[in-house]
Structure 1
Amino acid sequence: MKLDNRGLEPPQPMLRTLAALESLPEGETLLIINDRRPMFLYEQLDEMGCSHVTAEQEDGSFLIEIKK
């Protein structure tokens, strides 16, 4: 599943991401694209036991791969 959060003001990207994770089956991966590094989201993901990898893209956005 892929979620494009670019152009949204905080906290919308985090809220959309957490809502998408709720319906994501265990073991699946969610890819999100954000305008900025989601520092507060990382804490939530760690608490939920999700692994995550962030890669800055050439356009300055961030691609975050989240495994539930």
Structure 2
Amino acid sequence: MIIDNRGLEPPQPMMRTLKALDKMDNGATLSIINDRRPLFLYEELNDRGYLHETEAQDDGSYKITITKSGA
């Protein structure tokens, strides 16, 4: 699943991302595209134990791939 959060003002991208993750099964992967690095989202993902990787895109946006993990 891919969510395009470009053009949204904080905290909308984070809220959309966490809502999608809540509906996903453990082990599933979600990719999001943001206008900027989601620093507060990183903290939340780390607190939840989710793996994430960020790739800068040619257009200046960031693609973040998140793997949902948990007990």
Please give the TM-score of this superposition, normalised by the length of structure 2: 0.94
Cα separation, 1, equivalents of 2:20 and 2:35: 18
Instruction: Tell me the number of residue pairs that the alignment of Structure 1 and Structure 2 aligns.
Output: 68
Q: 1:49: which partner in 2? A: 49
Moved runs in structure 1, 4+ residues, more than 4 A? none
Identity of aligned residues (%): 62
Q: 2:28: which partner in 1? A: 28
Unaligned ranges ≥5, structure 1? none
Q: Does 2:15 correspond to 1:15?
A: yes
CA RMSD of aligned residues (A): 0.4
Q: 1:66: which partner in 2? A: 66
AA partner of residue 36 (structure 1): R
Cα separation, 1, equivalents of 2:24 and 2:3: 12
Report the Cα offset of residue 34 of structure 1: 0.2
Please give the TM-score of this superposition, normalised by the length of structure 1: 0.98
